Amino acid sequence: MRRLRLAALLGVLLLLLPLAAAAGAAAKAPAAPPAPPNVTTAMAKGGCKAFADLIASSPDAASTYQSAVGGGVTVFCPTDDAVRAFMPRYRNLTAEGKAEVLLFHAVPVYYSRGSLKSNNGVMNTLATDGAAKNYNFTVQNEGDAVTIKTAASQDVARVKSTVLDADPVAIFTVDSVIEPVELFKPAPAPSPAPAADAPKAASKAAHHPAPVVADAPGPAATDSPPADQKKEANKSAAAGAPSCVRWFAATVAAAVVMASTLA
């Protein structure tokens, strides 16, 4: 009798258990914060499919983007056209460089479209890592437009459409890839090319007169007036090719002087 009752009680309890669990889950659900948006999915839907694909194919970038979402993030995703134009240079980068370029397009702070206009200036990015890797850019207002500039380029990226603007995540499109100066040096002044050629030319010129100078004192040294010889040597050193002719003339002159002295 007692055993039967116990069994019945147990049966009832077992029946109630799943119900209780379901009720608990149902009660919990509303309290949990809404799932953070999937930034790559949002980007792809908003006109940055190519950029989202690049992030998805870089494990470093993908995990950093997704973990930044919770703390607030503003993403500036280049449009598909902008990414297409940049691809030859992107492919040239190392895996680390690629991840850094991708992370360079997000700031670890949520800025609404409106606050972006008033909070401009130098901003650190997800690629920033201490002082060694500044990876910052400058946000500026140009009339109604918000632009992003780095020292790597004279061109600016323009902030275009709003893909998502819901605290803590904002995603805006930009019309070009933003180039970090850490990876893309500004075009150098045209001076290095001639500078590289100059020493070559100089050494060539210096090379030629060398034997002339070494030989010249030989025959002329004893009897030629020192001033003339010095002048002659200086001329040969400076003049290059024709110096051979001059040296010959000088030697002949010296020989004539010597001959006339002997005679």
Return the number of the residue (56 or 258) whose C-beta is nearest ligand NAG: 56
Contact between 102 and 198 under an 8 Å Cβ cutoff? The reply is no
- In this chain, which of 112, 120, 134, 229 binds ligand NAG, going by CB under 6 A? 134
Phi/psi for 92 (5° steps) reads -70, -15
- Ranges of beta strands (E only) in 6-156 are 73-78, 106-107, 121-124, 136-142, 145-149
Is residue 153 near ligand NAG by the rule CB under 6 A?
Answer: no
Phi/psi for 52 (5° steps) reads -60, -40
φ/ψ bin of 113: left (φ > 0), alpha (ψ from -120 to 50), beta (otherwise):
alpha
Contact between 34 and 151 under an 8 Å Cβ cutoff? The reply is no
Residue of closest CB approach to ligand NAG: 134
Is residue 38 near ligand NAG by the rule CB under 6 A?
Answer: yes
Is residue 181 near ligand NAG by the rule CB under 6 A?
Answer: yes
Which region, judged by CB under 6 A, interacts with ligand NAG, from 26-34, 36-44, 99-107, 246-254?
36-44
Which region, judged by CB under 6 A, interacts with ligand NAG, from 34-42, 139-147, 171-179, 245-253?
34-42
Residues 189-228 that bind ligand NAG (CB under 6 A): none
- In this chain, which of 24, 230, 242, 245 binds ligand NAG, going by CB under 6 A? 230
Contact between 103 and 63 under an 8 Å Cβ cutoff? The reply is no
Residues 70-89 that bind ligand NAG (CB under 6 A): 88-89
C-alpha distances (whole Å) from 227 to each of 221, 230, 245, 246 are 11, 5, 19, 16
Look up residue 85 and give its amino acid: A
- In this chain, which of 199, 223, 231, 255 binds ligand NAG, going by CB under 6 A? 231
- In this chain, which of 136, 173, 224, 236 binds ligand NAG, going by CB under 6 A? 136
Contacts to ligand NAG by CB under 6 A: 38, 40-41, 56, 66, 88-89, 92, 122, 134, 136, 181, 230-231, 234, 238
